[in-house]
Amino acid sequence: MKLIPKSVAEMVAVGLLPYPVKSIEEHKGGLINHTFKIVTKNDSDPNFLLQKVNSYIFKDVDLLQSNIRIVTDYIRNELDKQSLPNLNRRVLSPGCILSNGECKSYYWDHDCDYWRLYEYIEDSKTYNSIPNNDMAFKGGVTLASFHKTLLGFPKDKLPDIIPNFHNLKKRIESLMVKIKDDKFGRVTNAKKEIEFINDNIDEYVKLHEILTSTNIPKRVIHQDPKFNNILFDLNDNPLCMVDLDTVMVGHLYSDIGDAIRTGANSTVEDNPDLNQTNFIFEIYQSYINGYLSIAKDFITLNELHSIYISPLIMTYEQSIRFLSDYINGDKYYKYKTEYPDHNLVRAKNQIRLFEQMVLNREKLKDTVIKFDPSFF
Ligand code: GN1
Ligand code: MG
């Protein structure tokens, strides 16, 4: 087991956590925040997840925490209106950090790191990849239900925590600046990948413009709905979406596309053996069927027609993000960069996945079109 950081031990020692602590262990998962599971001494007290917020990425932790608070409150209230039981298992509950006896949403330590708590949801699990079509269908249902629950959320109350998060044009501009600066002398190692990005810019920027044009509604969405951001109970029933840091106003295509990008990859996104990276069409199909079984109640026709292209756009975007970070010296994904070429490997993996998706483009479209009532 890895050593527990000194600041975590200190927080426990000075009584910042709301209950007496029995043990602390590192909790794997996620590329951004560093997470620990805190087991409390008394069975009647809830266990917690303690997270060190990545403040290179989340510059405004007050806003981050206040967005999460209003979103989780809103979801809880909506689910309560439907008289659903066990609300604490159906939505995350941010916890209190005690400061002079007062409940605070985070703690700022001597190293200028920010710490926050969530109540741990017992008897739950996540999957790093989608195990079968049935689970893919459930994933789609869960994401659509999340969107549905947030339909009435007042969009003007949710400022962007990371502006332009899925703005493809801005991502490309930023990559070009990094290539020009080449601060780490890595551009020469990434010639082929840069060429791939350049070859696809015109087509994908145009598609992105269509997907974000004024005839496509803006909605409150998750913006990071990887399959392992869905919590399931021990019988594989979906409980809730987690990792709510990036919940912001955006377009449905980006959530659906990112879920497929992560869920329909036959291997992990940092597998250096590209022959193992394949696009599993059946997972896409089941996820979309699950998603649209719920979303048919609110999705517009323009959105429906746009979503088949979303896995391609999001995989292209993620290739750019990994490549950018590689060229820029691994600053964004620093916490989970384990060797010098790690982000280049990730970019190559995404490019290969993209190419496999392109081969399925017509089938992607057919799956979605079946849900257009005018098709019959
Ligand atoms: C990050 O932390 P995690 O693994 O849920 C990232 C996503 C990327 C993903 C790459 C805030 O998500 O946007 O798609 O890594 N989150 C943020 O797998 O940048
Ligand atoms: Mg995340």
HEC assignment per residue over 206-246: HHHHHHCCCCCCCEEECCCCCHHHEEEECCCCEEEECCHHH
* Ligand 2 centroid distance, CA of 31 (Å): 7
CB-side neighbour CA atoms (13 Å) of 169: 9
Helix then strand then coil, % of the chain, to nearest 5: 50, 15, 35
* Ligand 1 centroid distance, CA of 258 (Å): 10
CA distances, 144 to each of 108, 193, 206, 236, 247 (Å): 35, 34, 26, 17, 14
Determine if ligand 1 sits within 6 Å of the CB of residue 31.
yes
- In sequence order, the 6+-apart residues with CB closer than 8 A to the CB of 335 are 31, 32, 33, 34, 54
What's the N-to-C CA distance of the chain in angstroms? 58
Q: What is the average per-residue pLDDT within 78-104? A: 92
Residue whose structure tokens are 């949710």: 158
* Rounded Cα gap, residues 166 and 218, in angstroms: 13
Determine if ligand 1 sits within 6 Å of the CB of residue 274.
no
* Ligand 1 centroid distance, CA of 208 (Å): 20
Determine if ligand 1 sits within 6 Å of the CB of residue 318.
yes
Residues surrounding ion ligand 2 at CB below 5 Å: 224, 243
Q: Which ligand is nearest to the CA of 335?
A: 1
- In sequence order, the 6+-apart residues with CB closer than 8 A to the CB of 368 are 288, 292, 304, 305, 307, 308
Closest CA to 196 of 308, 307, 323, 331: 323
pTM: 0.95
What is the per-residue pLDDT across 132-153, written as a single tens digit (0 to 9) for each? 999 999 999 999 999 999 999 9
% residues pLDDT > 90 (the chain)? 85
Q: What is the average per-residue pLDDT within 78-95? A: 95
What is the per-residue pLDDT across 23-65, written as a single tens digit (0 to 9) for each? 899 988 789 999 999 999 999 999 999 999 999 999 999 999 9
* Rounded Cα gap, residues 27 and 51, in angstroms: 9
C-beta of residue 168 within 8 angstroms of C-beta of residue 205: yes
Closest CA to 298 of 153, 86, 81: 153
Atom 1 in ligand 1: which residue has the minimum CA distance?
A: 31
* Ligand 2 centroid distance, CA of 130 (Å): 17
* Ligand 2 centroid distance, CA of 92 (Å): 14
C-beta of residue 169 within 8 angstroms of C-beta of residue 212: no
* Rounded Cα gap, residues 328 and 78, in angstroms: 43
Determine if ligand 1 sits within 6 Å of the CB of residue 30.
yes
Domains and their CATH numbers in the chain: 6-122 (3.30.200.20), 133-369 (3.90.1200.10)
Output the pLDDT for position 109: 84
% residues pLDDT > 70 (the chain)? 99
Q: Which residues pair with 21 in a beta bridge?
A: 40
In the predicted structure, residue 376 carries a pLDDT above the cut 80: no
Reported confidence tier of residue 374, pLDDT bands at 50, 70, 90: confident
Output the pLDDT for position 152: 98
Output the pLDDT for position 375: 61
